[in-house]
Amino acid sequence: MSQAEVEATTKDEFVIKEKAPLRPVQSPTDLCLGCGTCSAGCPMTGVEGFDPRRIVRMVLTGLDRELIDSKLPWLCTMCAKCEYACPMGINIVNLVRTARSMVERSRVPGQIHKGVEMALKTGNNLGLPTEDFVFIVEDVAEEMAEEEGFSDFRIQLDKKGAGLLHTLHNKLVNTQNEDLVHWWKIFHLAGEDFTIPRENWEGVNWGLFSGDNEAMKTLVGRIVEHMDRLEIKNLMYPE
């Protein structure tokens, strides 16, 4: 969404209510009973004015701008305990995510949007160059091959016709290298013919968190491209 579009849509009231998808339940937000079951179950209730019922009331009374400009959408973990318990099936998580999507991108807190931008630009949230990525995974694989039972283990990136595509969470090639090997050990002993993409290997899609459907679609599309290009049988849904 362009800056102009963001401004145009967020000047209005009752926009979140109209825009938020009625999922998982076809239940309009107006059906809220105000019972507070959502708030009673939420571990964040009471923190800096946060509570799920208040978010629903803000949406229903047209206080979209106040909600969007506040910290509230970013304190929610979108865990859905509130809507799971809601007697009317109000889709509270989608209200939060829609509010997040209407926040000007430069004001999205922390690393969420920065990671999305980096992934769109470089193929992973870290901005790690391909040669560094290849070095890290091959280095960890060689080390693993020194362990008993795994001596013939090799990593094959971009292997055409592989049985399984494995994407990686960026933290595993960043600060948690030691956790790369768990799946590889399982694959090796199971005789799984797996491969990892050489580029665009990111298995994480922070568009989900930032409320950015366009970015999310692009990142999912890259996985589809790998599967088609390399003619891979099965996708392992990113961890």
Q: Which residues bind other proteins (CB under 8 A)?
A: 23-25, 43-44, 47-48, 71, 74-81, 83-85, 93, 96, 109-112, 115, 148-149, 164, 169, 171, 179, 181-183, 185-186, 189-192, 204, 206, 208-210, 217, 220-221, 224, 227-228, 232-237, 239
DSSP 8-state assignment for residue 20: S
Q: Say what angle helices 181-190 and 130-144 make with each other, to 10 degrees.
A: 60
What one-letter code names the amino acid at 102? M
Which H or E element spans position 164? Answer: strand 164-165
Query: Residue 154 or residue 191: which is nearer to other proteins going by CB?
Result: 191
Query: Residue 30 or residue 239: which is nearer to other proteins going by CB?
Result: 239
Minimum CB separation from other proteins for residue 84, in Å?
5
Query: Residue 11 or residue 171: which is nearer to other proteins going by CB?
Result: 171
CB-based contact 24:91 (threshold 8 Å): yes
Minimum CB separation from other proteins for residue 187, in Å?
9
Minimum CB separation from other proteins for residue 118, in Å?
12
Minimum CB separation from other proteins for residue 175, in Å?
10
199: closest CA among 164, 163, 136, 157?
157
Burial 106-135 (b: 16+ CB within 10 A, else e): eebeeebbebbbbbbebbbbbebeeeebbe
Minimum CB separation from other proteins for residue 94, in Å?
10
> How many CA atoms does the CB half-sphere of 1 hold within 13 Å?
21
Query: Residue 11 or residue 182: which is nearer to other proteins going by CB?
Result: 182
Query: Residue 134 or residue 235: which is nearer to other proteins going by CB?
Result: 235
